[in-house]
Amino acid sequence: MSRGGISFEGIGAKYVTYQAGPSVSAVALVSGVAYVLASACAVTASGDNQMDFGSAGDPVRGIIDQYEADHHMTVQVAGYKEDVPGISGSMPAAEEFLCVDGAGHVSECAVQTAAGRGPAYAVAVDDDANVNTVTVFIG
């Protein structure tokens, strides 16, 4: 989502391997691994050494970077990630903290207070009806 020649993609990126939670594994099984990877799915912590799509309103903890056949995945847990899918009608504004929607997308968090915020926030938002993507900083 480079605008005016500015691109943040990959700056400060850090990755960790987690076990895929049941909803991520189910989507990978039904829609294919390519869908999970191409969609830059947002995930949240869901158990010991596990990340999953979570429930709407859970804080974004990472973005899936790679998914393996053994149901483990590499998750970007820090840095900038461009073109993360958002939800039309629930797009955040720049600088708002981000939550998952339970299906791999990011959305604005209902709670934007210091106590309710997550580690990820929107840097730039493209809310064009055909695009709906967010540049995310996870910090």
Nearest of 73, 77, 51, 88 to residue 136 by alpha carbon: 77
Residue 28 pLDDT exceeds 50: yes
Nearest of 80, 85, 79, 28 to residue 51 by alpha carbon: 28
In angstroms, the CA 131 to CA 109 distance is 20
Residue 1 pLDDT exceeds 50: no
**Would you list the DSSP string of 43-95?**
EEEEETTEEE---TTPBP-EEEEEE-TTSEEEEEEEEEEEEEEB-TT-PPPTT
Q: What is the CATH number of domain 14-138?
A: 2.40.300
Q: How confident is the model at residue 5 (pLDDT cuts 50, 70, 90)?
A: confident
Asked if 112 and 65 touch (Cβ cutoff 8 Å), the reply is no
| Tokens coding 78 | 């820090």
Pairwise pLDDT comparison (2 vs 10), residue with the higher score = 10
- Where do the structural domains in the chain lie, given as residue ranges? 14-138
User: In the beta sheet, which residues pair with residue 107?
Assistant: 99
**Amino acid at residue number 96:** E
Nearest of 80, 27, 81 to residue 54 by alpha carbon: 27
The separation between CA 74 and the C-alpha centre of its own chain, rounded to angstroms, equals 13
| Tokens coding 101 | 């929607």
Average pLDDT, stretch 15-31? 95
pLDDT, tens only, 81-134: 999 999 888 888 888 889 999 999 999 887 665 555 678 999 999 887 677 889
Percent residues over pLDDT 90 in the chain:
58
pLDDT, tens only, 37-61: 888 999 999 999 999 999 998 999 9
Q: How confident is the model at residue 3 (pLDDT cuts 50, 70, 90)?
A: low
